[in-house]
Structure 1
Amino acid sequence: MNEIIERMSAAEAGVLLQRVRERRPRVHALMNTVVQKFTADGITAVGAIPSMTSSLEEIADFVTKADALTINLGTLDQERRKVIRLAVEVANAAGKPWIVDPVHCDYSPGRLAFARELIALGPTVVRGNKAEMALIGDTQASLRIETGPVDHLQDGPVHMVVRNGHPLMAKVTGTGCLSGGVIAAFLAVEKNALKAAAAALATTGVAAERAAVEARGPGSFEPAFLDALAELGGEDLSKDARIDHETA
């Protein structure tokens, strides 16, 4: 998938954030319906352009015009499965990067089977929490991301850890979904998925840390988080991103 990289620095993460803001990539998000607006606002806050339609009649046109695709299985039905399959077909045919988030695949055997079906189609990134990724197992040639208090990124023998974030992220529905959209935006401007994803997770993590300083709880954290994402600059990320790198 990716060429092995020796080091990902905070300064490089800052450069990638600036690249997203300058290029304004289009990200199509097939997103959990509970968090569509929050995700769209987060993608916009980092400088990218979101689209969110899940219409079977429109999805091919929207994915064709997008630079990257993010898929979230949070609210899943038969119609959405058809839309997702078509979106992936279009993205793969055009060589566009895409990410799949197997939300709650640990709750339903059918959802787990569908997640595995998608992974077999070769997403650029598979991202989930510890329980979800434990069930997913091998992500084949895709970059594997296990999120949590510390985010673990695995690309073959290369293991990267992003240590930015705040506990309030777990108290607001959709911060993980939003981060999937941000990862897609970074994938659109950086071919090395490991670099792109590490920079994206550092971006959302640093923004969360800044938002938590003024938040009184989850209700005030959400708008503060979006504000912090919008205000974050490359220099801020260069100073505050905490990315560690290990090779197995």
Structure 2
Amino acid sequence: MNDQVAIAKPSESELRVAGETTVLFGHQSVGMNILDGVSKVYADASVSAPAIADVSGGSLAPDAEQATFRHAYVGVNEDPMSKFAAFADVMDSSAGKDVDVALMKLCYVDITAATDVQAVFDAYVSMMAKVEAAHPDVRFLYTTAPLTADRNWKSKVKAVLGRDDQMGPADNIARERYNAMIREKYGATGRLVDIAAVEAEGTGERSHDGSTYYVLNENLTFDRGHLNETGSEAVAAELLKMVATHSPVA
């Protein structure tokens, strides 16, 4: 197993196309890591980065109208249904005006061993179908749920003491179940931003109680869940390539 990560960076032309595309991105904390990565990818390529504006709550301030990369904090962590509803609301607001490409992502805390994975998947599919029908001119991208790294000794002790950090094998097994359904449903569309696959690069398959799962590469995280600079850049690179591929500017 080689846990080193090679980032497949977008070409200069892909970066320019993505930068001219109006994107709406719904997220929570790990999403900010990805946005930091967007700026880093552009800086590394010496290409002017797109203006990024916060449109949380559906408001579109004058400065946001000039930004091609809009983002909104949607819902609350550990409540994926609230995130789906909030993303649909933002799409229907002024913040969703003239958007070319849109997507939303869950956080690793939204899918755990205690989650009804089928119910979350069904709700995501239903929500995406509704926003696609309501906004036929927008190219929607789909996403897998992020992962967490293997527990370190401190996390293992906390788990034994009953202080669940939602980073155990059973939690990543639940995420793999969800992600497998997402890949089966949307993989053939060519519009799937497979966040989990990027995060798991180089880690290999794990097994626990007869189930297989994947983990976040430790080289991509600073706290076993959120992305460090390398992780942020790796996921952002994948997102930007997908935006460029499906941009009407291309």
Quickly name the TM-score band, shorter chain normalised: 0.3 to 0.5
State the structure with more CA Rg: 2
Calculate the TM-score normalised by the size of structure 1. 0.46
Calculate the TM-score normalised by the size of structure 2. 0.46
